[in-house]
């Protein structure tokens, strides 16, 4: 390569400026076409409808997450109750065995 680092940096910056300029021009042309064809209001309505749909789905997701949290809490409580019942059952079995031994 015959270019030094400074020249490469300058060309890189010039390329970036041109790309930004092309992008801006492309966006302006697109908006101009939308305005000329009268499609902008319909596009705005579509965007608004999708936004409302997204909000509704987010609300449903929040409700589902809350229900999941409640279910997990209840499951944790049931696990504790089950552990306590198992412990009581084991104690009762131990008492029964001891009682049977005394009766024999």
Question: What pLDDT, on the 0 to 100 scale, is given for residue 65?
Answer: 94
Please report where in the chains the tokens 């504790």 appear, as a residue. Answer: 80
User: Measured between alpha carbons, how far is 52 from 30 in angstroms, rounded to an integer?
Assistant: 25
For residues 11 and 3, the answer to whether their CB atoms sit within 8 Å is yes
- Give the pLDDT means over successive 10-residue stretches in the chain (104 positions): 81 94 93 82 88 96 94 93 95 90 79
For residues 34 and 40, the answer to whether their CB atoms sit within 8 Å is yes
Global pTM value: 0.45
For residues 34 and 43, the answer to whether their CB atoms sit within 8 Å is yes
> What is the Rg, in whole angstroms, of the alpha carbon atoms belonging to the chain?
36
């Amino acid at each position: 390569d015959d270019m030094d680092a400074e020249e490469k940096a300058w060309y890189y910056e010039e390329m970036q400026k041109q790309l930004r300029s092309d992008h801006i021009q492309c966006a302006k042309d697109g908006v101009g076409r939308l305005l000329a064809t009268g499609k902008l209001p319909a596009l705005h309505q579509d965007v608004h409808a999708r936004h409302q749909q997204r909000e509704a789905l987010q609300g449903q997701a929040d409700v589902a997450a809350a229900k999941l949290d409640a279910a997990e809490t209840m499951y944790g409580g049931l696990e504790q109750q089950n552990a306590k019942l198992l412990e009581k059952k084991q104690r009762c079995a131990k008492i029964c065995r001891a009682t049977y031994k005394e009766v024999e």
